[in-house]
Each structure stands twice: as structure tokens, then as C-alpha cells.
Amino acid sequence: MLTIYGYSGTRSIRATWAAEELGIAYEYQCVDLKRGLHKSPEYLAVAATGKVPSLRDDGLTITESGAIVTYLADQAGRLIPSTGTAKRGKYEEAMYFVHTELEQPLWSIGKHKFALPEDKRIEQNISLGEWEFQQVLSVFAKMLGDQTYLLGDTFSVADVAAGHTLSWAKGFKQALTHDNVIEYAERVLTRPALARARQREAEAVSVS
């Protein structure tokens, strides 16, 4: 069976959310970050970066949340455009934008709030990240336009990545500012599959 390694409150929710949307059976392995299990030899043998999520499927290991959700959707043949099509090109564009542009200011905020060692944190980088996020969010709002989802009327795993990133922004108290983005976030973050994924991850933490 396919195995997803993750921890509640991290990017691993993208993998579990995608699996729930796609109806893919999976085993969930909690990698308890608070106990330092991501630095254990056992987990480093799975993911050399020591980060979550990672996925194992019949001898194949994939890290990076964008690659994982793309792989899951391609395997299921759902929630993703076919390769070689114009729509697949727009999917790739959206995914790269979310991971390299929309997410990065938030990760900068997170690093300088809690992730980096205290002596490496720079207070100014938090306010810079907040400013940068608003600039990139304006581009995202234009990309979304009046569409229901990033690729039009159909939900895709690109919306999993974008939805989680906007959830992260809300957790950091960053205003979404644009009406279409606010409505989009409400639409994708209330999906039942996300609620199931969150419950699965929370239950795994409680028994780890």
C-alpha cells in the first residue's frame, strides 16, 4: 500500500488532502517533528532532507509536496489535466507559481518566527515577508480572475497546493485582501476531503 509520511500542521496535509480527494487508499506514518523523528536514521533513509511530506509507493520514494500531489493525480487519472495538453501547461504554471512565489514569503516569515535557530532569526525579515506576500497575492488574484478554481470550473490538485498556502497565510494573520481570493479560499478550504485529511493527521499525532 502507498505510504505518506507527514506531521500535522505541515505541508504533508497537501499529500493527505490529495489522496482523500482522489479516493486513494494509503497508510499514514506520523513523523513526530517535536520528538525529532525527522532526524532519525530511519526517516533520513526515506527523505534525505529530513522534511515532510514524503511518499513511498512500491519501491518508489518521492519528496516535495508538489511532486507528490502531481504523482497521485496522474496515477489516479483524475483532478489533473492530461500531459502534453495546453491545460497541463497551465497546471504546471500554477503549481510552480504557488510553490516558488506565493509560498516563499510565508516560509520566510515562518523561518524567522520559529524555524531557524534563534540567533539566525532577523526581525526585519518578518515584515519584509509580509510585504512581499501582499505583492505576490495581487498576482495570484489576477491569475485566478473570475474563475471558480485555478484551472477554471474544475477543481484540481493545483487547488490543493494553493488552498493550503492560503490556509497558511490565514494562520499567519495575513489578510487575503482580494474578494476573489477570499471567496476562493472559502470554497477550497471547506472541502470534505480536507476535513478528513486533517482528522487523519491529528489522530496519527495523538497515538504517536
Distance CA 29, CA 102 (A): 28
- In CATH, what is the architecture of 3-78+193-207? 3-Layer(aba) Sandwich (3.40)
Domain with CATH 3.40.30.10 in the chain: 3-78+193-207
User: Mean of the per-residue pLDDT values for the chain?
Assistant: 96
Cell of 46: 526515506
Q: Which helix or strand (DSSP H or E) is residue 134 part of?
A: helix 123-144
What percent of the chain is predicted at pLDDT more than 70? 100
pTM to 2 decimal places? 0.95
**pLDDT tens for each residue of 102-155:** 999 999 999 999 999 999 999 999 999 999 999 999 999 999 999 999 999 999
Contact yes or no for 200/2 (Cβ under 8 A): no
Question: In the CATH hierarchy, which top-level class contains the domain 86-191?
Answer: mainly alpha
Domain with CATH 1.20.1050.10 in the chain: 86-191
How many other CB atoms are found less than 10 A from the CB of residue 38? 21
What is the structure's pLDDT at 42? 92
* Centroid of chain to Cα 32: 18
**pLDDT tens for each residue of 155-168:** 999 999 999 999 99
